[in-house]
Amino acid sequence: MSPPVILLLSGPNPALLAKRRPDVLGPSGLAERLARAEAAAERLGLGLEHLQSEHEGDLVLAVRRARGRAAAIVVDAGALRRYGWALHDELATFAGPVVELQPTSPDTRPPSRRGSVLAPVCDGTVAGFGAAGYELGVEAAARLLHSPAPAPARGRRS
């Protein structure tokens, strides 16, 4: 039997990870972050699938296709976290745990860039850990999957 799968989604501009604000985001690019996430998933007995897209519709379709197949979702939506209402709506329909990933801390951003339209439909957010965030997001999803207690309430069923 194959292990439960976590779907890891990366939104627009991952090529900028190692270039934009390396003092905050860390010097590693997407490939290194994915390697850390894959190692964490393997260590935890989980499979990991990754999709990166510059387009919200691709991420929406990935969530839709994950229903009944993936056990959890970790999403680093980038700027889509501020205005990705279609992604919000699709994540709201996913039955398993959803973890939002933000490499920087929202409190360090200008006020216009702090909010997340995804947060209300996620079980939790891993924020401010830079390059370690992808690994921590997988670990958080695994903890939610293996927890005997129900996941925290969220607005996904409304």
For residue 27, pLDDT over 90 is answered with no
Closest CA to 94 of 116, 61, 117: 61
Count CA atoms within 13 Å of residue 113 on its CB side.
10
- The pLDDT of residue 157: 42
> In this predicted structure, what is the pLDDT of residue 24?
52
What CATH homologous superfamily does 5-157 map to? Answer: Dehydroquinase, class II (3.40.50.9100)
Rounded distance between C-alpha atoms, residue 8 and residue 98, angstroms: 10
| First-to-final CA distance of the chain | 34
Tokens at 112, concatenated:
């216009």
| CB neighbour burial string for 14-39, b if at least 16 within 10 angstroms, e if fewer | beebbeeeeeebbebbbeebbebbbe
pLDDT band at 20 (very low <50, low <70, confident <90, very high): low
Q: Contact at 8 Å (CB) between 49 and 74?
A: no
State both tokens at 13.
């501009």
For residue 131, the model assigns a pLDDT of 84
Three-state SS for 73? strand
Per-residue confidence (pLDDT) for residue 29, from 0 to 100: 79
Q: Considering the entire predicted model, what is its pTM? A: 0.87
Q: What is the pLDDT of residue 117?
A: 94
pLDDT on residue 158: 40
Please write the tens of the pLDDT for every residue from 114-125.
689 999 999 999
The conformational region for residue 122 under phi > 0 = left, psi -120 to 50 = alpha, else beta, is beta
